[in-house]
Structure 1
Amino acid sequence: MKLLQWVRSILYIVQVTVAMPVIGLAFAPWAMFSKRGAYAGCKAYAAWAMWTARWLIGLRCEVRGQVPEGEVLIAAKHQSFLDIIMIFHALPRAKFIMKREVLWTPVIGQYTKRMQMIAVNRGKRGQAITKMMEDVNAGRVEPGQIVIYSQGTRVAPGLSAPYKVGTAVLYDQLAQVCVPAATNAGYFWPRRGLYRRPGLAVVEFLEPIEPGLDKRAFMARLEQEVESHSDALLREAGWRPTEAG
């Protein structure tokens, strides 16, 4: 059975990789002139990736909790490309904070520019946050749900990485509600390798953190909630600590 799942995993990866430029080109005429078209194209791809995962590799996707709307900061756990797909599909107008290199990726880069995603230079984090705040305050980035991965990178189940202060800076300067988000997606769709596990991948939007906490208290609460809920989702999926990495 595991050999069959390997075959299915490889077929899934091939078709979902091919689907990206195909869907991107199909929506390109609309996306060139409209942010709405760009969002529609990306949401179509996300829907395709999740739908085909269900019937091809037996991987179902579920979003739990109240889906945030309006202007809000979302501080999410990042384990896999799958959690990006799920969060983007769920939110009305997601604005991801991402590494600048993504802008030069074929298809994805053009769409992220059109949707005004927020690209940062990892080597100049302080300047990146300042520039992002300038863009938001000047109205060059339309209102939406700003999504930041507080650890700055994908972190496999069982591994740890520090929560970066950039999230606290945004929380403080934006003075908006922050919604933590947990996930177990990395158990099914790992950051490395071709194998995709069947099961139920979950992204869970947690209880909002109201503005006004000091940075230290905010970061402590954010990390505790995201990590504890992500661990609970992993245990629900059948993950064990010996599978770390």
Structure 2
Amino acid sequence: MSSYSGNVETGGAPDVRNLPGLRITKLSVGPMDNNAYLLECLSNEDLLLIDAANEAPRLLELVGDRALSTVVTTHQHMDHWVALEEVVAATGARALAHPDDAEGLPISTSPVVDGDRIPIGDCELEVIHLVGHTPGSIALVYRDPKGTPHLFTGDSLFPGGVGNTHDDPEAFASLIGDIETKLFGALPDETWFYPGHGKDSTLGAERPSVPEWRARGW
């Protein structure tokens, strides 16, 4: 049985989860306790990084002498891309982001939009556009053919609530609506999700609280 907990600390060791076809390595980088996720297709060792948030040397150490093909940035906030330019320069990886957030990033990125598929060797991630935390925030879902879905939510969904919409009622309404329809309405309770900061959870654990989140307005 896997010992993965998803509990990592800035400056501490990564946590690793081995699925039948995909390895997920979660690392916390400082100074804002950002989670970066290195995904490896086990059939051919293709690598993809979700959020080159900071501490490029630690991220590059995770990659090692293997080939990193892709870096996906979940949204335009600076704490999620401080290491992006350095990681891409060192590895030659292509950089992907939603076009609505691309202007906020330090390097040119190729666009990904809702419903796009991003390959990791023989595995793939599906892009889910979630408007509200930023205009171009995305989540990424891996539909494990031998298990449950695995969802990388950036700063759009955390244990306990949706991402910060800065007291903007329109942005909150958009985000909670997208979360309800595109995540809770489309994926099963056993879906494990991995946020941009802090601990993981499952959609089933959070689902009963969604009406409370909508009522409180944050």
Shorter-chain TM-score bucket reads: 0.3 to 0.5
Larger Rg, first or second structure (1 or 2)? 1
More helix, by proportion: 1
- Structure of higher RCO (CA pairs closer than 8 Å, 6+ residues apart): 1
Q: TM-score, normalised by structure 2?
A: 0.32
More strand, by proportion: 2
Q: TM-score, normalised by structure 1?
A: 0.30
